[in-house]
Structure formats: C-alpha cells, structure tokens
Amino acid sequence: MATIGLDKLYYATITENESGEETYATPKPLAKAISAELSVELAEAILYADDGASEVVKEFKSGTLTLGIDDLKPEVAAELTGCTLDDNKVLVATSEDGAKPVAISFRARRSNGKYTYFWLYRVKFAPPATSLNTKGDSISFATPSIEGTIMRRNKAEKNGLHPWKAEVTEGADGVKAQTITDWYKKVYEPTITPKGA
C-alpha cells in the first residue's frame, strides 16, 4: 500500500557499556519531517557450481539516511553531530567533532489512514547541509538536510543477530495495540523467541 505522509521524527541518544552494547535514552522530537530517504548497501557473495549460481548470500552492510527537516535546533544539532553548544548558546563546529550514534524513529501515513512505524537502531550523522538563496520576486523556503550512516547495533537479540531496523504497520495481523502506543515512549526492543525454545 502506498504511503502519503511522513511525521513524528524522533531520536534517542545512546550510551554504551564496556562491551559496546547500547542503552537508549527516552526518545525526543528531532524536528518536523519534510522527507526521509533510506538507502541500503548489501554485502553479496555468489557461489558458482555446475556452471551456475549455487548459493547466494546477501547481508546488510550499512545504509544511508537523508532527512529533510524544517529546522534543526542547536541543542539537537549538538547531540546529533558532536558540535558544541557554547555558554552563549552558539553552536560551534570544530574539525575534531565526533558524532555519537543515535536511534532514529519516524512514521509514514498509508493511504488507508494507518501508519508504518520505523526505528533505525544506530545512525551516525554528519554536520547538516544548508542551501541558502537570496530573496527574489517569489518566496522559496530553504530548509536543512542531514545525512547519517546507518549501522547495525552492537547489542544482539536473543538469537545472536544484530538488528539495524524495526518496522511495523499499525493494524496488521498480530500487531498488538501496545506496540504502537509505546513506540515513542522508548526505543523498540525486539521480542524474539530463541530458536529451539
């Protein structure tokens, strides 16, 4: 089913323990969403045998998330990009800035009025891109965009796999109402029965 909207763009900061496993803070609004473009890069291997492809393996390698937003508040920019907010509330970017990864969530409205919800578990952003134009005969908006690299998270689920994305559609068979109502209260943790249990 087609999507006809995008909203509720949130982020959650990440803290890591000694082994690198993530703990997520309470999600906070990032900005008003204009666009979200998600592209994925796969690692692929093909085994040829008897003059043909015998086995094909495709695994998630990384991804890119490009967000078009209405505005990026200095406090949010500091948390997303590693820039510093100085004592005068001026955002200062340095060549030594190092962004820490965050989790990102948004939802897309479907043509039936229901929503598909997303969590990207580990995204590391670069400083935002800005395009500015002088005012001419007509008014045109200039809005920032920010691009991040999507990575798998370090924390494995119960079968030892490392999620990079969670996605659910409201009203789909078997989806609990609680899953949807809790989506922005905390970063979604997969509930998976271990294999063989």
Residue-wise pLDDT for 12-68, tens only, equals 999 999 988 899 999 999 998 888 888 888 788 888 888 878 788 877 888 899 998
Summarize the confidence of residues 135-157 as an average pLDDT.
80
How many folded domains does the chain comprise?
1
Domain assignment present for residue 191? The answer is: no
Q: Which domain holds residue 146?
A: 7-133+140-181
Both tokens of 67, joined, read 């967000």
Residues with Cβ within 8 Å of 143's Cβ and at least 6 positions away in sequence, in order, are 34, 68, 69, 70, 71
Domain assignment present for residue 79? The answer is: yes
Domain assignment present for residue 68? The answer is: yes
pLDDT in tens, 61-98: 888 999 988 888 889 988 988 888 899 988 888 878 87
In terms of DSSP bridges, do strands 84-85 and 91-92 run parallel, antiparallel, or are they unpaired? Answer: antiparallel
CA distance 60 to 40: 7
What pLDDT band is residue 191 in, cutting at 50, 70 and 90?
Answer: confident
Examine the pLDDT at 109 and tell me if it is beyond 70: yes
For residue 158, what is the DSSP state? Answer: T
Mean pLDDT of the residues in the chain:
86
Full-model pTM: 0.83
3-state SS, residue 76? helix
Summarize the confidence of residues 120-142 as an average pLDDT.
75
In terms of DSSP bridges, do strands 52-69 and 145-150 run parallel, antiparallel, or are they unpaired? Answer: antiparallel
Both tokens of 145, joined, read 């965009």
Q: Are 69 and 89 in contact (CB under 8 A)?
A: no
Domain assignment present for residue 56? The answer is: yes
What is the pLDDT, as a whole number, of residue 123? 95
